[in-house]
Amino acid sequence: MTTLRDQPWLTSRETRAVIAALEAEGGAGCVRFVGGCVRNALLGQPVDDLDLATPLKPERSMQALMAAGLKVVPTGLAHGTVTAVSGGRPYEITTLRRDVETDGRRAVVAFTDDWAEDAARRDFRLNALYADADGTVFDPTGEGLADVAARRIVFVGEAETRIREDYLRILRFFRFHAWYGRGAPDAEGLRASTTLAAGVRTLSAERVSKELLKLLAAPDPREAVRAMAEAGVLAAVLPEVGSLNLFEAMVDRSDDPVLRLSALLPPDDAAVAATAGRLRLSNGQRDRLVSAVGEVPAGLTDREARALLYGIGREAFRDRLMRTAASGGIGAEAVRRLERLAERWTRPRMPVGGREVAKAGLAPGPETGRVLAAFEAGWIADDFPADGHDERLEAAIKGLSSPARGGR
């Protein structure tokens, strides 16, 4: 019998409080840990989320937890899920269930008290492992523990059936292979993913982008992404992708999923912005992707680098530098020099503003903005001098075209 050992989350006071509350309602053994926490504990990897399963209906779980003085949030009652907060840590508790109806995006479920029935509706066998409060592991499919040992990602039951229940499982198949798999992806899962790849297009953009970024955050997602491309799944998600060469090189340079995504996209800021919009990425992620498209010239001087840093910021400069380096457009020595410069240089503050322009004799109006823009351009071109601002401002004012100033 397999038992989880040396797991602080399993024996912590906060965890014991949740277990005790539920067992006071449903009896000993009525609650088990399930999924990622069990899988990762067996793999010797960090455990982040704590998910539990119980035959108790969600209303009974909530009553029991509140009676024990724990905070409870009804996070998904229709699917049997409540979240208990103990010691500031969330515990997601879901009633055992079986699927009644699925459409490839969402499911209608019915509650059950059968652990095997609950396991049968899960995605992969290594995610259908349960552990009780003492750490004893239960393997209802009979193959989950073997998959953990072999690092195999295999669907529960028939792969096509599992995928038709929720097409997101195609992306999860590749994501879990990237994180936990070893060797070639499971042949049946790969065939099913290839056959049903078009189903990914029916999913919401938010679900797709979230899963994609999780996949790209894996230590080395290259094999999984190659398999996605061969199966036609990558084209269903990112039809813009051509060669994987830049992406493959980027993985060696950065573990940032946004930067790795950038390396999958073409060097066209309009196309990249359109992709970010289609995937419903955040504004920050969109801006990073668009900014990373520009190249850092191989012969960029320190002075030119400071001007570029001033214009686009440190993060965008680094992103652009990494993409250029991954493409082979700039050498390693130049990359190290520019990385050091970006780390050490502090962006100076514009030394003049509207008040100084007014003091120099220019009446407030649209010309103020043009004067400041001219001043800033010259200040940047001269490498951000710390003095001479009055003379530079006067020159900017005099530089306004005569027709623009005349007739007043």
| 14 and 146 share one domain | yes
DSSP string, 31-71: -EEETHHHHHHHHT-----EEEEESS-HHHHHHHHHHTT-E
Count of Cβ atoms closer than 10 Å to residue 27 Cβ: 11
From 332, 347, 362, give the residue that closes a domain.
347
The whole domain housing 192 covers 156-237
| 13 and 146 share one domain | yes
| 259 and 227 share one domain | no
From 324, 347, 370, give the residue that closes a domain.
347
pLDDT value, residue 64: 97
At 5, give phi and psi (nearest 5°).
-130, 155
CA distance 215 to 228: 11
pLDDT value, residue 76: 84
The 10s digit of each residue's pLDDT in 160-212 is: 999 999 999 999 999 999 999 999 999 999 999 999 999 999 999 999 999 99
| 108 and 191 share one domain | no
Structure-token pair, residue 230: 């061969």
**Residue 401 clears pLDDT 60, i.e. is over it:** no
**Total structural domains within the chain:** 4
| 16 and 132 share one domain | yes
| 398 and 293 share one domain | no
The 10s digit of each residue's pLDDT in 68-115 is: 999 999 988 888 999 999 999 999 999 999 877 666 566 678 899 999
Average pLDDT over residues 218-231: 97
Average predicted confidence (pLDDT) for the chain:
93
The 10s digit of each residue's pLDDT in 274-286 is: 999 999 999 999 9
The 10s digit of each residue's pLDDT in 328-354 is: 999 999 999 999 999 999 999 999 999
| 286 and 400 share one domain | no
CA distance 161 to 319: 41
Structure-token pair, residue 191: 């065939």
Alpha helices in 166-204 (DSSP H): 168-180, 187-195
| 294 and 167 share one domain | no
CATH number of the domain to which 44 belongs: 3.30.460.10
The 10s digit of each residue's pLDDT in 313-332 is: 999 999 999 999 999 999 99
The 10s digit of each residue's pLDDT in 53-73 is: 999 999 999 999 999 999 999
From 303, 324, 347, give the residue that closes a domain.
347
| 337 and 360 share one domain | no
The answer to whether 181 and 151 are in contact (CB under 8 A) is yes
The answer to whether 196 and 160 are in contact (CB under 8 A) is yes
